[in-house]
Amino acid sequence: MNDILVMALYAFLGAAAAGLLGAGALRLLRHRSLTASLAVIAAVAVCAMLAGTLAVAWAMFLSPHDLSVVTTVVAMAAAVSLATALLLGRWVVARSRALTLAARSFGDGGDFAAPAGPTTAELSALSRELADTSRRLAESRDRERALETSRRELVAWISHDLRTPLAGLRAMSEALEDGVAADPNRYLRQMRTEVERLNGMVGDLFELSRIHAGALVLSPSRVSVYDLVGDALAGADPLAREHGVRLVGSRVEQVPVEVDGKEMSRVLGNLLVNAIRRTPADGTVAVAAERSAAGVVLSVTDGCGGIPEEDIPRVFDTGWRGTHARTPPAGAGLGLAIVRGIVEAHRGMAAVHNVPGGCRFEVTLPMAGV
């Protein structure tokens, strides 16, 4: 029993010495190729076995012939192990280089394409992660391009819409200053109207900036959609009378929702104003509110004649007004963008689709808990 313990101790010491040397070699080669590391690992395994075997053989006082036989066997095993490690290392390095070349497409703004051929499980998992990252980056680039286009359009349209009332205010103020205004009171009323328009545009810009910055603070409370719709219809009634449009709100259920009453009134007000301005005289704008599987659906249906199918995906974009709406009173194209921002802040969804004779804007909100 003691002889076995002594041999085990000699084998452990020999293997430990080889292991320490291998650890030092790995530390020196930690920045080198994976092939070198695999070769060191194979060499450590073989040298540890050789050192342990020689130590035991020396302790057992084997004959020189027996010692040479053992050494030869271990040396052959070492040669095969090193060759296998080098081949494996070269294969793994080749697959890693192919993956590196494929990943360089990120820097060129392209899509990632995983290299063909078999590979290790770890490299396959990395390829899948890179492909998923490539997909998300492509979506992000598309969103950024769309936002940049929207910003450019918004700046151009806001500049145009600001220039018109400012030019009018300047002309009217100069007429009043020179005393050539035939009816000063009419000029003053018109100036007040233009100032109100400018104030509304600035207010919309401020609201939209709060939404985009995530600074929109909601104060939700439990209210009935019946009351929300009633207040919105009352507020929009003067504009509807001015345009000769009938407002209908007969299909409104008394369903409770948890919303910020002020912000949701703005949503309904924007939708109603947009619908009234797009509906011809003697037309009808209908408001409805009903339960659905997704929650509470508020809808505003107008008689605008419909929206071109290619324009529907952009209806809620910032600054978008359609090809037929480029002059006042169409507005700056912020109302529907504000609608979507407020609705999404309430964890809801805004949508639009065509119906016979017009289109229907729908706002889906979570139903209040009972």
* Cβ neighbours, 10 Å, residue 162: 15
The DSSP call for residue 367 is: B
Question: What DSSP element (H or E) covers 115?
Answer: none
pLDDT at 10: 64
Burial of 341 (0-12, 13-18, 19+ CB in 10 A): buried
- Rounded to whole angstroms, the Cα distance separating 150 from 144 reads 10
The DSSP call for residue 279 is: S
The dihedrals phi and psi of 255, each to the nearest 5 degrees, come to: -110, 130
Q: Give 343's contacts (C-beta < 8 A, 6+ positions apart).
A: 267, 349, 350, 363, 364, 365
- Rounded to whole angstroms, the Cα distance separating 306 from 289 reads 21
- Rounded to whole angstroms, the Cα distance separating 213 from 55 reads 73
Burial of 329 (0-12, 13-18, 19+ CB in 10 A): exposed
- Rounded to whole angstroms, the Cα distance separating 297 from 253 reads 10
Start-to-end Cα distance in the chain = 80
- Rounded to whole angstroms, the Cα distance separating 112 from 128 reads 10
Question: What DSSP element (H or E) covers 351?
Answer: strand 349-355
β-pair partners for 143: none
pLDDT at 61: 59
Alpha carbon of 275 to those of 202, 225, 240, 257: distances in Å?
22, 19, 10, 24
Q: Mean pLDDT in each 10-residue stretch from start to end of the chain (370 residues)?
A: 66 70 70 67 71 68 69 75 71 73 65 68 74 78 77 72 80 85 84 83 78 79 89 90 89 86 90 91 90 88 88 79 47 77 90 91 82
pLDDT at 329: 44
pLDDT at 333: 64
Closest of 225, 215, 204 to residue 348, by C-alpha: 225
